[in-house]
């Protein structure tokens, strides 16, 4: 788990323009979820703990968390199906609570989160192409940590930046996966063309037929052929 950076100046002390410059600088380079969480701790001075909630099938999971407290606060929301990160991801743009123990919006989660050490929080929705896919969660040990409107505005700007970064990373990851699959399928076609005297179209049709018959994804079948040189049996 990552640790928060101590003695960080507030948005008011540093100035919003300076913080926005830091946002741009911090967001450069190769993305990973742990780095994004660490950057959020660096940029948002009111946050003592940060987590990243993403949609996972019909539910949600924490892609990264800066501390056990953040991970546990998230997990409690998933278990109870109640809490600000779920509502931010599903219903509203963002939620602030200055005292989770007394917040009537989450009567089951709030007191238990406060007992674990959460004083206040800000959860903001992550959106890509107009569709929500998760939330960035910023927890503070003390109540009232997100009462400064400048801190809230900065956190919302940063969350927008985080959503764009995540979306871009997903697109790059998908492209890299597609290119790798295409390369593997091409190698498998080459093996079939040499082994059976097929042309490019015939080799692809054979792969597709084998994929359908064996209920195996085309890229997985191609990878097996490339690595082992063998194919599943198929009726003539």
Residue length of the chain = 236
Q: State residue 31's pLDDT score.
A: 56
Hey, where are the domains in the chain?
11-167, 174-228
Exposure pattern of 49-58 as b/e (b: 16+ CB <10 Å)? bbbbbbbeee
| Strand extents, DSSP E, the chain | 49-56, 59-65, 94-97, 120-128, 131-140
Q: What is the pLDDT of residues 121-172, one digit of tens each?
A: 999 998 877 788 889 999 999 999 999 888 888 888 888 877 877 776 664 4
In CATH terms, the fold of domain 174-228 is Arc Repressor Mutant, subunit A (1.10.10)
Mean pLDDT of 21-44: 69
Supply 210's token pair.
């084998």
230/222 Cα distance (integer angstroms): 10
Q: State residue 187's pLDDT score.
A: 87
Supply 186's token pair.
């091409």
39/30 Cα distance (integer angstroms): 13
175/205 Cα distance (integer angstroms): 24
At residue 6 the predicted structure's pLDDT band, cuts being 50, 70 and 90, is very low
- Paired residues of 77 in beta bridges: none
State pTM to two decimals. Answer: 0.64
Same fold, 11-167 and 174-228: no
Q: State residue 80's pLDDT score.
A: 96
Q: State residue 177's pLDDT score.
A: 58
Of the candidates 73, 1, 74, the residue with the CA atom closest to the CA atom of residue 33: 1
CA distances to 49, 54, 96 from 86, rounded to whole Å, are 17, 10, 13
Q: What CATH number matches the domain at 11-167, 1.10.10.10, 3.30.1330.200, 3.30.450.40, 3.20.20.140?
A: 3.30.450.40
Flag whether pLDDT at 65 surpasses 70.
yes
**Long-range contacts at 201-205 (CB < 8 A, ≥ 24 apart):** none
At residue 234 the predicted structure's pLDDT band, cuts being 50, 70 and 90, is low
Scan for tokens 């800066």, then name that residue: 66
């Amino acid at each position: 788990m990552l640790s928060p950076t101590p003695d960080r100046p507030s948005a008011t002390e540093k100035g919003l323009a300076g913080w926005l410059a830091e946002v741009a600088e911090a967001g450069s380079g190769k993305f990973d979820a742990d780095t994004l969480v660490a950057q959020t701790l660096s940029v948002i001075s009111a946050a003592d703990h940060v987590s990243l909630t993403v949609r996972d099938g019909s539910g949600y999971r924490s892609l990264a968390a800066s501390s056990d407290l953040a991970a546990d606060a998230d997990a409690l929301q998933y278990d109870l199906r109640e809490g600000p990160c779920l509502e931010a991801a599903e219903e509203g743009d963002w939620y602030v609570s200055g005292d989770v123990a007394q917040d009537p919006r989450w009567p089951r989660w709030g007191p238990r989160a406060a007992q674990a050490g959460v004083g206040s929080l800000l959860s903001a929705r992550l959106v890509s192409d107009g569709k929500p896919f998760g939330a960035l969660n910023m927890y503070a040990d003390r109540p009232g940590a997100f009462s400064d409107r400048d801190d809230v505005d900065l956190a919302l700007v940063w969350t927008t930046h985080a959503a764009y970064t995540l979306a871009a990373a997903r697109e790059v990851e998908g492209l890299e996966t597609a290119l790798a699959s295409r390369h593997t399928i091409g190698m498998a076609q080459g093996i079939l063309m040499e082994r059976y005297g097929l042309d490019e179209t015939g080799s692809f049709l054979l792969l597709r037929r084998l994929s359908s018959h064996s209920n195996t994804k085309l890229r997985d079948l191609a990878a097996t052929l490339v690595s082992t040189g063998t194919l599943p049996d198929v009726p003539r």
